[in-house]
Structure 1
Amino acid sequence: MTPAEGSAPIPDSQPRPVPPVEGLAPGNIGAWVQWAVRALETASSDARIDAEELMAAQLGLPRSRLSMRFEDSILAADALRYAGSVERRRVGEPVAYITGRQGFWSLDLAVNPAVLIPRADTETLVEWALQLMRARAGGIAAGALRIADLGTGSGAIALALAQELRANAAIVATDQSEAALAVARQNAQAAGIERVDFRCGNWFSAFRDGERFDLIVSNPPYIAERDAHLEALRYEPRVALTSGVDGLDAIRHLAGGAFAYLAPQAWLLLEHGHDQGAAVRGLLDEAGFVDVSTRRDFGGNERISAGRLGS
């Protein structure tokens, strides 16, 4: 029975070498995509998007061009690999880890299980950071802006800022994981971005004596250790997700320690959970920041809180 007839064999969930297969698979590309949509309906709220993303990745196409190929035949080897990818998605593995790619800002980033998958909501932090730095750049010599991204992961935030600010800013991006930094460096090289200094260290420990920054940003772990949502995130690195009983341990550390590394009038921007805005504003107030406020993400949830160091 072909995918067009409603069923097709699905390999197990672990990636495995595909045996040499010659010739074409039964059905066309569109039929295989439709089979995958049905296979993923109970596992994903975006079954069609997932099915198309996986097929586009298998064929080396942008998803926007996939529909033009629906009537084309598909090689048997590609169909087998596609079936394996669909099964991995069916058991819960994120599409980004299956394809090894994730879009963020205007970047196409490599990702793997060593790094958190960048989310669109984090672009709210990038937008705010750019607004603050462009306003600040007027009073600072060209190229003298200094920015730090703590817990950089795939490098998403640091690279988006570097791409937009170009020679106007020097950026330090830190992570406690060398495996994560390897991904971030790969992404910087692929994007042709050079003005990012990647360093291994836990939060402020990677900074050098006397360093001061015009902006410190972070998307730290902020999920409570026993949060029910963690099961859905089981493929992502737990160290990048959870932070204490209430999820705020890392944010407490950052809010309490950032003063020593900020220049006068500099800013600290922190991403947090949708229900943590009031608590994070309280921590920033307690630490002595001024102009403390919160911005909402694309879904209308409180997502980024910031405070400024006084003069």
Structure 2
Amino acid sequence: MPVEALPLRDLPIAMAVAGENWRTLALHHIRAHVHHDATNLHHWRQQLANEHPAKAAFATCLLSALNPGEIEQRAAYAKAMDAWFEDPMCQADVLEFVFGSRRQDVGGNDLETWKRRALSTPSDAVLHVWASALDVAQQKEPWTADFQRTVMQTLPDHWWSVYADQWLRTQLASHTGRTWLESFPCSWLAQLARVKGERSGFPGLEITHQGFSLTTESLMAVRLLKDGVGTPSLIDLHEIVYANEQSMPVPTVATHPQAGWLVRSVEEWPAFGGEVLGIGDRAVGELLFLRSFHARVHSPTR
């Protein structure tokens, strides 16, 4: 059922029994429409206070809608936070909203509190891994190969894409890492071929990408990989980088027919439209489309 088919006030009840994708869609819908009618927030706060069976969902929606920077909402926000940590739902979505770039000034004051409480959750939970990774990044401590793998397996790809270059090199350098890469499905080219200066990072800590810098020499160990779900993407990456270094035509690879353009200057690109979204790796297609669109907007002669 589409999220739009339900009254906004009842979405938390549906979220309590829905799958992750539907919950995410519901949260986006709530964020877009909740402030059109303040009675929804009042109703959710009442249900939370009454220990409704869907309390976790009501808390999730309140955290996504309330602003602790507004004095009149702080108490309700604190109660929602307490209830949410009892059974945290939509962990990545909530973290992104609370500590998103538009709310850095609001969430920053609560960051240490969130980290402390997140570290009390199970070690394999998104919350726990996020808090642990944030500590490493903030303290500028070295990333162990094992923890890199934990982060990549647990957290959304776009949170760690800024580290993808360094971490791929680390994993390729050991037998354990290569074995893991063989079984880890990842759109590596979409992770790596970001624009220099693009903002990314974990919720609560914004970092900028340094751009694509891998060479065939740094990717030599890709040829040691055995068959696995993670191998084709890396084989294609090696082929694309090699062709670019040798000034060869852009190769057509299985990951996405146009993927090879991502390691080349956007000034060389043909114009890409929506057709790239319907073929191959969707993450690669989206990156091609967005970068091509951005180039056209800022260079009207293209």
TM-score by length of 1: 0.30
Higher relative contact order (CA 8 A, sep 6+): 1
Between Structure 1 and Structure 2, the one with more strand by share is: 1
TM-score by length of 2: 0.31
